Amino acid sequence: MIRKDQHLYLALLLPAIIVLLLFIAAPIINSFFLSFHRIIIGLPQLKTPFVALDNYLQLLKDPIARHSFFITIIFVALTTFFELLIGLFLALLIHHRFPGRGALRACVLIPWAIPTVVSAQMWRYLFNDAYGVINYMIFGANTNSYIPWLALPTTALSSIIVADIWKTSSFAALLILAGLQVIPEELYQAAKVDGAIVWQRFRHITWPLIRPALLIALLFRTIDAFRVFDLAFVMTQGGPADATNVLQLYGYKKMFVEGWMGYGSAVSVCIFIIVLVIAVAYVKMVGRRLLEANV
């Protein structure tokens, strides 16, 4: 038996804890503090007066903020739904043993591995209004009917949703795949002996047993989808007419383009609280059980 040396463990933990405190915990607390002040980058002579809830009241009154919230919810709901659906499809395929399984898994990982910025430029190219291949596939050589996908409010948001689904379905697939791999093979054998067809086996064995994995993928994807920024920044800069001005982009613009650090902090606190609620739900549902299983 080795001695449980608590001081040694604390010393080993300390560097990591310091970095996490300095760059994550303290900034989050500081964001709350800043959100009650008026701080304008570039005008330090105005000081940073305490304005209580002014920033939050202003935020509630801002129609652009409300619109931002609304389209972010649409984005999160649609991307999460389709990512889980496609992820389930991909996971079921990869779970099968067949020649070329490794190759398929590598293909599926590619969208996940490439930088979001690259996939954003890629979709900007594919959705191009004059020579984009998507227009060509729909309308052929008839360039008059080509749709400027990224310049119309409804299609711009849909384009970003498509780009996100392409990029992150594979991540959902990996989480679901991990769930599939813990299902004992014997269950399928037994069902086969009982004469269950493919659909029945999926409905009565696979589906109930991967529901926990689906739940985890759902919560991970929901939390992550609220952070969408890169796609909107590169593909549309939030336009046209704020149609793709998702929350994180809105907060970024207020803070770093317009210089309203206090107001921007109020925006980021609101996003933080939304994500926190989802995260708490996540930890409540699956976190404790995982910790007990793992460590």
Render 134-194 in DSSP notation, one character per residue.
Answer: HHHHHHTT-GGG---GGGSHHHHHHHHHHHHHHHHHHHHHHHHHHHHTTS-HHHHHHHHHT
Q: Between residues 204 and 237, which has the closer beta carbon with respect to another protein?
A: 237
Q: Between residues 147 and 275, which has the closer beta carbon with respect to another protein?
A: 275
Least distance (Å) between residue 158 CB and another protein: 16
C-beta separation of 95 from 177 below 8 A:
yes
Least distance (Å) between residue 21 CB and another protein: 9
Q: Between residues 172 and 243, which has the closer beta carbon with respect to another protein?
A: 172
Which contiguous run of DSSP H or E holds residue 73?
Answer: helix 63-95
Two tokens, residue 67: 């619109």
Least distance (Å) between residue 53 CB and another protein: 18
Least distance (Å) between residue 6 CB and another protein: 8
CA 217 to CA 90: how far, in whole Å? 14
- Cα 105 to Cα 52, 96, 199: the distances in Å are 53, 11, 24
CA 73 to chain centre: 12
CA 263 to CA 294: how far, in whole Å? 41
Least distance (Å) between residue 63 CB and another protein: 20
CA 216 to CA 222: how far, in whole Å? 10
- The sign of the dihedral angle between the CA atoms of 151, 245, 72, 67 is negative
Q: Between residues 122 and 205, which has the closer beta carbon with respect to another protein?
A: 122
Q: Between residues 74 and 188, which has the closer beta carbon with respect to another protein?
A: 188
Q: Between residues 98 and 154, which has the closer beta carbon with respect to another protein?
A: 98
C-beta separation of 272 from 264 below 8 A:
no
C-beta separation of 35 from 271 below 8 A:
no
CA 239 to CA 156: how far, in whole Å? 8
Two tokens, residue 145: 């009917």
DSSP bridge partners of 260 = 40
